[in-house]
Amino acid sequence: MPDTQDTLYTMPGTCSLAANIAIAWIDAPVAVENMAYGDHKKDAYLAINPKGKVPAIKFADGDVLTELSAILAWLGATHGGEGYARDSKLGRREAEALSFMTTEVHGAYGPHFAAQNFAKSDSAQDEVKQAAYDRLRGHYKRMNDKLSSADGDWYLGEKSFADAFLYVLVRWLDQTPLTLSDYPALAAHRDRMEADAGVKTALGRQDMQPMGAAS
Ligand SMILES: N[C@@H](CCC(=O)N[C@@H](CS)C(=O)NCC(=O)O)C(=O)O
């Protein structure tokens, strides 16, 4: 039977949480299908996204959209109303921030999540991991400074999808040798996000728990 609804595919702990939060914030008519870790490499999902990664949206007409920043752009343009229109100044800044976060910051996590893809020996893998953590320190400092200068509440001065992905990145920081207390604006942002009803809904849909003071 053909699908009658657009569906976002997610997995616990992953960047797909940002799209899930966006769906909650704008109340988009998109179902969220949370897969168990590992299902992303099984045939059923590879038939949807041959890259074997989340997020992906499968549309009711069978078309598929992958890449988080493209999915967030589609959500904003299609279901976001005026607040998420892409031709606004906020929309431009949001696209810029999401490109930075998905390519530079998420990209820098490569050696942390899969050091074997970057070096062979244990010592070489350790070296690329340490280099990645140094790079991440710079990225988190930049994001902490930007959030502080934007008045501290929202990354771009008002709520946007950049906050949804920033929250994911701040959660990942806890898995690294970096310390969240070195980035006080990011720590406060995490607590603000975890008090948000849409974030709570999205976490529940992905079988995830809040991590900070609001938990
Ligand atoms: N460039 C992609 C990256 C997607 C990505 O790396 N997703 C991760 C989760 S955060 C994933 O599915 N990893 C599973 C794997 O690589 O096995 C995007 O921005 O959507």
Range 22-28 average pLDDT: 97
Mean pLDDT of the chain: 95
59 and 90 share a domain? Answer: no
Contact present, 46 and 27 (Cβ < 8 Å)? no
- For ligand 1, whether the C-beta of 102 sits within 6 Å is yes
**Per-residue pLDDT for 83 more than 80?**
no
Nearest to 162 by CA among 178, 181, 186: 186
- For ligand 1, whether the C-beta of 67 sits within 6 Å is yes
**Per-residue pLDDT for 82 more than 80?**
no
- For ligand 1, whether the C-beta of 15 sits within 6 Å is yes
**Per-residue pLDDT for 209 more than 60?**
yes
112 and 181 share a domain? Answer: yes
- Bigger pLDDT: 4 or 205? 205
CA dihedral 7, 11, 12, 15 (to 10 degrees): -90
**Per-residue pLDDT for 59 more than 70?**
yes
53 and 69 share a domain? Answer: yes
Residue nearest to atom 5 of ligand 1 (CA): 53
Q: Is 134 exposed, middle or buried (0-12, 13-18, 19+ CB in 10 A)?
A: exposed
The secondary element (H helix, E strand) that includes residue 200 is helix 197-205
71 and 122 share a domain? Answer: no
- The count of other CB atoms within 10 Å of the CB of residue 62 is 9
CATH number of residue 32's parent domain: 3.40.30.10
Q: What share of the chain is helix, strand, coil (3-state, %, to 5)?
A: 60, 5, 35
**Per-residue pLDDT for 16 more than 90?**
yes
Residue 52 sits at φ, ψ, to 5 deg, of 65, 35
What per-residue confidence (pLDDT) applies to 201?
98
94 and 168 share a domain? Answer: yes
Whole-model pTM over 0.85:
yes
The secondary element (H helix, E strand) that includes residue 34 is strand 30-34
List the domain range (segments joined by +) for residue 49: 6-82
**Per-residue pLDDT for 214 more than 70?**
no
165: CA distance to ligand 1 center in Å?
13
- For ligand 1, whether the C-beta of 53 sits within 6 Å is yes
176 and 88 share a domain? Answer: yes
68 and 162 share a domain? Answer: no
What is the number of residues in the chain? Answer: 215
- For ligand 1, whether the C-beta of 54 sits within 6 Å is yes
pLDDT in tens, 125-158: 999 999 999 999 999 999 999 999 987 799 999 9
Residue nearest to atom 15 of ligand 1 (CA): 53
Residue % of the chain over a pLDDT of 90: 89
**Per-residue pLDDT for 41 more than 70?**
yes
Contact present, 110 and 118 (Cβ < 8 Å)? yes
- Bigger pLDDT: 150 or 203? 203
pLDDT band at 89 (very low <50, low <70, confident <90, very high): confident
**Domain count of the fold of the chain:** 2
126 and 165 share a domain? Answer: yes
- For ligand 1, whether the C-beta of 190 sits within 6 Å is no
**Per-residue pLDDT for 215 more than 50?**
no
61 and 94 share a domain? Answer: no
Pairing state between β 6-10 and 56-58: antiparallel
